[in-house]
Amino acid sequence: MALAQPDPAAPVTRPPAGPLTARRGTLATTACMETLQIGYLHAVAAAAGCSLAQPFPDNGIDWHVSHSAPGHEADDEVTIKVQLKSTYQLAPRLPGPPGRATPRTFGFTLDNAHLVKLARTPVSVHKILVVMIVPRAPEDWLRAGHDHLALRHCCYWTNLAGHPVTGRSRTTVRIPTSRVFDDRALCEIMTRVGAGGRP
């Protein structure tokens, strides 16, 4: 018995359009958040013309970011150390309605041992903390179109040099919402460090 073959001239029928639910992997959300923020850092570094290196083994610092430019005073290349963190427990710092100011800082809690490493001063290589606020649901993390790839929400940065330890085992630090971490901010950080200053 021969099997019926499809007619190549027949119109193709498709299921009715409807919302699609992507079948996501079972990797832990925190691991996915780490991957997302690394992608964010790579995009910022690429747009700023910086190179990245990952220390191995990791000794409490995630990345070294280097920037070459003729204007740097001490050397033609300067490097900073970057510690990445992310959270979905905070709301994005979006502008409020007219007459209502955007919060100037948000709190982020670090283990004291980690804070001591980031707060050490003086240092030969400056360190910054970069905190990414992400939506709780992974399906809300990014949107792609023909002319863009948008990551939500964004990263903020701060220099914790000299910050005191105030908690018993953990300390809450304040991250300025004015310090959005993007390519322009990274170039400005590198320019200040290249001139002998702090980030």
39 within domain boundaries: yes
129 within domain boundaries: yes
Low-confidence spans in the chain with pLDDT less than 50: 1-4, 6, 12, 14-18
pLDDT, residue 58, reads 83
Residue 70 burial (CB < 10 Å; 0-12/13-18/19+)? exposed
Upper half-sphere CA count for residue 97 (Cβ side, 13 Å): 0
- C-beta separation of 152 from 132 below 8 A: no
pLDDT, residue 19, reads 53
98 within domain boundaries: no
17 within domain boundaries: no
CATH number at residue 188: 3.40.1350
Host domain of residue 187: 29-91+124-161+179-194
Structure confidence by residue, pLDDT tens digits, 3-56:
445 455 555 454 444 455 678 898 999 999 999 999 999 999 999 999 999 999
109 within domain boundaries: no
pLDDT, residue 98, reads 64
68 within domain boundaries: yes
Total domains in the chain come to 1
Among candidate residues 110, 103, 106, the one with its CA nearest the CA of residue 90: 106
